[in-house]
Amino acid sequence: MWSTADAVRNARAAGVVVPALNVPYLPMIEPLIQAVVDCDAFALIETARLEWLKFESQGPAAVMNEFSRWARPAHVRLHLDHVPAIDEDGLDVDYLPIFREAIALGYGSVMIDGSRLDLEGNIAVTRQVVDMAHRANIPCEAELGAVLGHESGPLPPYEELFASGRGFTDVEEANRFVRETGCDWLSVAVGNIHGAISGAAKDKAKIETRLNLQRLDELRQATGIPLVLHGGSGVKREYLLEAIPRGIAKVNVASEIRRVYEGTLKASGKGVVAQGAVYERTCWLLRDYFDVAGKRPLIARASPKEGEP
């Protein structure tokens, strides 16, 4: 059977992306998977530590249990997203046991986020988790730069952030980081931001963002590995499409589908109605935003580079 690593490599080679769909609420898993299947697409279903602590997805085991009820391996795989070394509240995280649990449960790929550490610290913790993942023959994603948005308090004006390049991934650092960690995919900051997860802002639509395409092209050349765009909700579609030939092979989406679920559930009081809204919005994303409907055969096959994680 082809692997998650194969899928992301194939997406990069074919000039398409793998959407990665976050699940802050367990009932979202079924409609997300059904939408991917009905659109004949391939996507990752993913869960991040903050979604267990600040929302209701409970943890890696609960997500795996619900995912396994509906899993269609030819269309979806499960990814452990954003386990930080230091979390959005500035607290140290005992991250290694989380990765051991997820790997034992059968997650197909994992992500360590050491981006709140200095470069040396990020390299060190990423190398630890890369080694652990590779022993299990699965790929490891890492992050370099600051994809802002999850921290408490308001962000500076977006145009100010973009113009200053605050938090953007440094090209020379990225080259060194990939060489010294051996990570398989790299999440980069080039103008993308995460959706808010606390306060009144979490219920509001994300601001529309754009990407520094020149920086992205430089990062593609410097790293030579698939790049990942976090904070995919709200990125102008023309920038997303331009990002794909510049190395973006995986795009995370959280706010776009979370707000649909929460808003519909609040308005209707019915879980099945909220699930239906998630299904419809996910079909729109796959078909009209990512343009991956019907393109599963480009991704879901063994890569020529057999044996690599």
Specify the CATH number for the domain of residue 196.
3.20.20.70
d(C-alpha 202, C-alpha 15), whole Å: 32
Helix (H, G, I), strand (E, B) or coil at 124: helix
Residue 23 lies in a domain: yes
Residue 170 lies in a domain: yes
Question: Does the pLDDT value for residue 152 go beyond 60?
Answer: no
pLDDT single digits (tens) 252-309: 999 899 999 999 999 999 999 999 999 999 999 999 999 999 999 999 888 765 445 4
Is 146 or 50 the better-scoring residue by pLDDT?
Answer: 50
Q: Read off the pTM.
A: 0.90
Residue 91 lies in a domain: yes
d(C-alpha 241, C-alpha 256), whole Å: 18
Residue 306 lies in a domain: no
Residue 304 lies in a domain: no
Domain range for residue 119?
Answer: 4-299
The identity of residue 21, as a single letter, is L
Helix extents (H) in 47-194: 49-53, 60-70, 96-105, 119-135, 158-164, 171-181
Indicate which residues carry an active-site annotation.
81
Residue 305 lies in a domain: no
Count the domains in the chain.
1
pLDDT band at 203 (very low <50, low <70, confident <90, very high): low
